[in-house]
Amino acid sequence: MTLKIAINGFGRIGRNVLRALLENDTTDVEVVAINDLAPPATQVHLLKYDSVHGRLDAEVVVEGDTMKVGRHEIRLTAIRNPEELPWSDVDVAYECTGLFTSRDKAGLLLKNGSKRVLISAPGTDVDRTVVFGVNDGELSAQDVIVSNASCTTNCLAPVAKVLDDAFGIKTGYMTTIHAYTGDQPTHDTTHKDLYRARAAALSMIPTSTGAARAISLVLPHLKGRLEGSAIRVPTPNVSVVDLTFMPTTPATVDGINAAIQAAAAEGPLKGILGYEEQPLVSIDFNHDKRSSIFAAPQTAVTSEGLVRVVSWYDNEWGFSNRMIDTGRAMGKFL
């Protein structure tokens, strides 16, 4: 069966979902529609030429209201109200605008026939929040509106699961050192968060993240044990999670690294969680489709047993690949 998906919002994640399907030569997922208010010529240009991920190695042709690229023949619309989208042939609607993240708003995409909705952001009152490789096995036919969590939660959750299973997490704090994103200004401007009012490429910017608390949506027994914050930095892509925690049983550097290495090599986290022993930096992980790449040389344990670990992630490409994986998993119940 070919899963038919439609993308609402052809921005960073929407475009990278399509790019990932093309690059992976995916045959069991077909994009049948894209809804975005930008002119088709603009959509095509930004799909073909990407400042972070480079040129698309595929011909893109627009004929009328249809985009043809690779295996995909895609209907283009520019409809503001999602309940008006003519998507009766769509299996999973990918909500990638960042605007319709609550159950009520995302549910509008179901009005004209879409069977399921997958939100490319943390969701409110959704049927399930999924981090692929961690809790996708809990998906059921009753999960109609699903959140793919955030890129940071997708990085943190695999590491947290492995370490909690091996040593237990009593309490911990996560900091994500995060590349700037499109919701930050290039120059100082007004913003309700005065940190985010500042120019993205000129400063390291402390701000908030819900990624640590969102772990409880994926690993419920960790509720209340993890907190976190973010520092946005002047790089365009690739971020890193820095997690400090107290284990419930004593841990060593070698034991921690061995647990992660084993989980990355086989089982549900293979291809999702990576293990890296080389002294690499952020640019080395650009365009890496894994959710989380554990930096083994950074692991540390204090004399009192406090643990510190680090894991990299391409906050665009890895997350976009997981959107495909989660959508495919949802499609099994159709």
**Segments making up each domain of the chain, as ranges:** 3-126, 151-315
Residue 281: which residues within 8 A CB-CB, separation 6 or more?
A: none
Instruction: Give the span between the Cα atoms of 239 and 78, in whole angstroms.
Output: 32
Catalytic member of 7, 96, 151, 307 = 151
Average pLDDT, rounded, for the chain? 97
pLDDT in tens, 244-296: 999 999 999 999 999 999 999 999 999 999 999 999 999 999 999 999 999 99
Does the annotation count 151 as an active-site position?
yes
Side-chain half-sphere of 126: how many Cα atoms within 13 Å? 29
Do 158 and 135 form a contact (C-beta atoms < 8 A)?
A: no
Instruction: Look up the CATH superfamily of 151-315.
Output: Dihydrodipicolinate Reductase; domain 2 (3.30.360.10)
Instruction: Give the span between the Cα atoms of 151 and 253, in whole angstroms.
Output: 26
CATH T-level topology, domain 3-126: Rossmann fold (3.40.50)
The structure's pTM equals: 0.97
Place 327 in a pLDDT band, splitting at 50, 70 and 90: very high
Instruction: Give the span between the Cα atoms of 105 and 82, in whole angstroms.
Output: 9
Place 155 in a pLDDT band, splitting at 50, 70 and 90: very high
Instruction: Give the span between the Cα atoms of 168 and 166, in whole angstroms.
Output: 6
Residue 48's SS3 state is helix
Do 170 and 224 form a contact (C-beta atoms < 8 A)?
A: no
Quote the pLDDT of residue 81: 93
pLDDT in tens, 116-148: 999 999 999 999 999 999 999 999 999 999 999
